[in-house]
Amino acid sequence: MSFNLVVPDLAESVVEATVSSWTKKVGDKVSAGEVIVVLETDKVSLEVTAEGDGVLESILTPEGTDVEVGAVLGVVSGSASATTSQVITPISVTAPVTSEAQKATPVAKRVATEHSVDIAQVPSSGTKVTKSDVQNFISGQNAPAPVSTPKPVSAPKPAPSVAVNDGGGYRKEERVKMSRRRQTIAKRLIEAQSTAALLTTFNEIDMTAVNQLRARRKDLFKEKHGVGLGFNAFFVKAVIGALKVFPQLNAEIQENEIVYKHYYDIGIAIGMSDGLVVPVLRDADRMSFAQIENQVKDYAKQAQDGSLGIESLIGGTFTITNGGIFGSLMSTPILNPPQVGILGLHAIKDRAVVVNGEIVVRPMMYVALTYDHRMVDGREAVQFLVKVKDLIEDPEVLLIEG
């Protein structure tokens, strides 16, 4: 009996994915639990596995195709043991449907609202009304494209990049499709700047005390916990201490209401070759220094090998990003909506500073807090950053208050 390979439920707020790669060709044997196709979402890559033994009969969605939850990716002709697999039949679109029955992507709804268009009047070219459907409706091209059963294809290949040169081969240009993650990053950055009143305040932190503490305790810490004592735990704990004093930075705006979060889920930005991911430390206030360092280490490893689960990226009440590991001396981080605050860390550099009337050399770090001015006033933002500075410069207080 044949069974379908189906796009699984992705995650809250994630409705689409892109077919990244097929690991099998039409006619190849597959085994239960074997990865057949890899999907790329705006957050992570997901593997779709066979739910039974059989042969890959057809591929309905070539690499590079955008798909929605429930879409059929391909068909496997299998044995009777595979009959428990979920079979979903592609939906044919014949006419516009009512508001109650019709579904639309969040972007489509936003575009429709911006142009005062009733989303129920927009014909869908697929299982949901998309941004393109709304744009076509607005421009008068409101006839939905005919839906036909996709023909099986064999051994799809990635779309090649297009190289253009001036004939001599010295002035080359290359055109490649943006990854879904990079597209989403671009969209979210624009949304953050267009929907929030962004403002950034700066300060500097003397890292002497933390460096001395790490030097004294790092060997014992690693021997006991199996992980190095880095800066992550210090700043996570300092941020939580400051958030408890200034709770408006641990909140979000929902329409005309403010939602204060009485828990501390701290996002840690991790750079990857194709973009940024922000896994979340759940209930970070309940975590020890060792638990924080181990969790961040695990997240970094998972991000690099592609095993980072989508559940690790959902939520977050405040974010910390460290451009200093790449050499950044100062920057203005952009919010991670719907959060209203993000702390940017930077490189530690020896600088001449005045301490007790004398010029001394100290390891200094510039820090930056970007915040949503709709929610947070300048006074609270500055005091928040000063609180972080005080806790880092006196880690004994940090440990006591933590």
Q: How many residues does the chain have?
A: 402
- Active-site residue, 373 included: yes
The burial class, CB within 10 Å (0-12 / 13-18 / 19+), for 276 is: middle
Residue 227 CB contacts under 8 Å (≥ 6 apart), including other chains: 221, 290, 293, 294, 297
125-131 long-range contacts (CB < 8 A, ≥24 apart) are 125/93, 126/68, 126/91, 126/93, 127/68, 127/70, 127/71, 127/91, 127/93, 127/103, 128/15, 128/68, 128/103, 128/104, 129/102, 129/103, 129/104, 129/105, 130/104, 130/105, 131/105, 131/107
Rounded CA separation 289/221 (Å): 10
Residues 318, 264 contacting (CB under 8 angstroms)? yes
Structure letter (DSSP) for residue 9: P
Which residue type occupies 140?
G
Q: Give the position of tokens 């201490």.
A: 241
- Active-site residue, 377 included: yes
Which residue among 372, 373, 390, 394 is the active-site one?
373
Pairing outcome for strands 266-268 and 318-322? parallel
Minimal CA–CA distance to 1: which of 69, 76, 99, 66?
76
Which residue among 66, 274, 283, 377 is the active-site one?
377
Which residues participate in catalysis according to the annotation?
A: 373, 377
